[in-house]
Structure 1
Amino acid sequence: MLAMTDINTIRNLRNNHDQSIESIRKSLNINWRTAKKYADKDFVPKIKLHKRSGMMYEEKWGDIVSLWLTEDFKLPRKKRRTNKQFFNDLIESGFPGSYRTVCNFVQEWKATHTDKGEVKDLGYERLEHPAGEAQLDFGTMEVEKDGSFVDIKILVMTFPFSNRAFGIALPAENQECLLERIKQILKQINGVPTVIRIDNMSTAVV
């Protein structure tokens, strides 16, 4: 079977340049029947996708490590976590795999998602977020106070399924402020999420 680039070339020569089958055959040095097949039939071969298998791809562990890696690439190199740290953090969450499994996944992720030390938009899959599930994280917001702009801390709860978000300011990133502001956000939405995902927030983890 021809590569997609060759197939597109055949169709382009036929449809946009009015070349004959014989002319296309000679130009690309291919069989006449092959040239005819792709030039005059509405035929596009199915692309075979390689489905990765294993716990890092079939369970939640790969998504967790991918998120950690994306976050770490925003930090200076010296502050990024090592494979051993990834492994230890996963073990604390009940990860049943081996250190080598984590290393292999990290190596493959970096090969497909980074370019010259920077994260690139390659290989991402669309995430499916069930309705009613929320994510929680701290953030920073610039506001005007007494004629000057200052940064304040906010707690943000997002609902990826509906693309809605609720935020509320807080004086500090401590557990007391976190719990009080969560209660206030739940009053705003007049309900409770089915699941709240909190990623790597030490205040909540402790």
Structure 2
Amino acid sequence: MMAVEQSLRSLLTEGAQAGTFGPGSKLPTERALVEQLSAPRSAIRRALEVLERDGLVIRHVGRGTFLTEAVLQPVEGAPANTSPAEIMQVRLLLEPQVATLAARVATQADLDRITECLDAGGSSEDFDGFESWDARLHRAIAQAVHNGLLMNMFDVLNTARALPVWGTLKRRTSTPELRRCYHGEHTAIVDALRDRDSAGSGEAMRIHLENVSDNLLGRH
């Protein structure tokens, strides 16, 4: 049940951050959530009870379940002077371990979402499209761990990736050939995740991030 609760929390938080949900928004029906999260109806109901207890949702008999303002609590961002080297240090410390754990606990719905991000990134022919799906892919892998504290940490990291210095460096070093290389590395990560290969997932993520670091920072 805990995994269902965390999946539902992630769904609501991501929707709130993306603007899909807001305070007062009506949640999908229980039946829709059962299909979306691939979970039993009893687990969905119990997860909704926990979210209501925590003040994230409010339920009205005969009307449905609605979000409260608590779901929009902001995550404090990274310092404005965070350097690309610092970003890559943290990514290399965090993301290989995240991939290792995701291979063990990801649901089929998680793996499907990860694969969708991979395929969309591979189909992107320009820098902006690829970078958008790159960020979504890495976030989807983190979401597959179903840990709210981890997602807060990951979202702080993502605020650092949104800093101008990071974007400028990425754009300056990006080429179609390099994007194809990164897509191949992403594919290796996702293949290992789908095979439930924990060690292989972590190693594929480490190799990918070390390559990104070398290309961005010129270090070997």
When the two structures are superposed, what TM-score results if normalisation uses the length of structure 2?
0.32
- Structure scoring higher RCO (CA < 8 A, sep ≥ 6) equals 2
Q: Whose strand fraction is larger, Structure 1's or Structure 2's? A: 1
Structure richer in helix, relative to its length: 2
